Amino acid sequence: MRIRTGIGYDVHKLKEGLKLILGGVEIPHTKGCVAHSDGDVLIHAICDALLGAAGLRDIGYYFPDTDNTYKNKESKFFLSNVCEMLKEKDYKISNVDSIIAMQSPKLKPYIEYMKESLALCMSLDIEDVSVKATTTENLGFEGRQEGVSAYATVLIYKD
């Protein structure tokens, strides 16, 4: 059996009047992510973790923000395509562990919805997807509510 790990990170600036999408779920908030796509930092971090684990390039290589094909695209589209790339290389996803850093709003009420959304998109059992959230105690760009970041680690394998 061949086992590989990957790590991903993404960050987006927050702006008033935009939708906030995290883990494929719309979160009620006055601010959303400034981005070419829907700006789902959690899914973008997971995509980069999966791609890295498989020895592939990053999300921007496959879905560049200079290509209008991906303008306002749901990030679940990217994740589904990344999962297909892994299948083509005979990799299976064992688990995903992730964390979102954001001061406000509190994400606890939405964590299970995010896990369900991500598990469905990756064809995983919900217990194989971990989503955590943290504030930065009012420190840094997340603490000043200027942006949101996400980190993800993944384990993939081949039989």
Full DSSP string of 54-77:
TT---HHHHS-TT-GGGTT--HHH
Residues whose CB is less than 8 angstroms from the CB of residue 57 and which lie 6 or more positions away in sequence, other chains included: 51
Q: Which two tokens stand for residue 135?
A: 């504030």
pLDDT in tens, 4-24: 999 999 999 999 999 999 999
When pLDDT is cut at 50, 70 and 90, the band that residue 59 belongs to is: very high
CA-closest candidate to residue 4, choices 93, 70, 136: 93
CATH code of the domain in which 46 resides:
3.30.1330.50
Give the domain range for residue 32: 2-158
Task: Give me the mean pLDDT over the 27-47 stretch.
Answer: 96
- Threshold 0.85, pTM exceeds: yes
Q: Which two tokens stand for residue 141?
A: 């760009």
Strands 92-101 vs 147-158: parallel, antiparallel or unpaired? antiparallel
Residue type (1 letter), 6: G
Q: Is the pLDDT of residue 1 over 90?
A: no
Tally of CB atoms within 10 A around 19: 14
Number of domains in the chain: 1
CA distances for 19 relative to 12, 54, 63, 157, angstroms:
13, 31, 21, 35
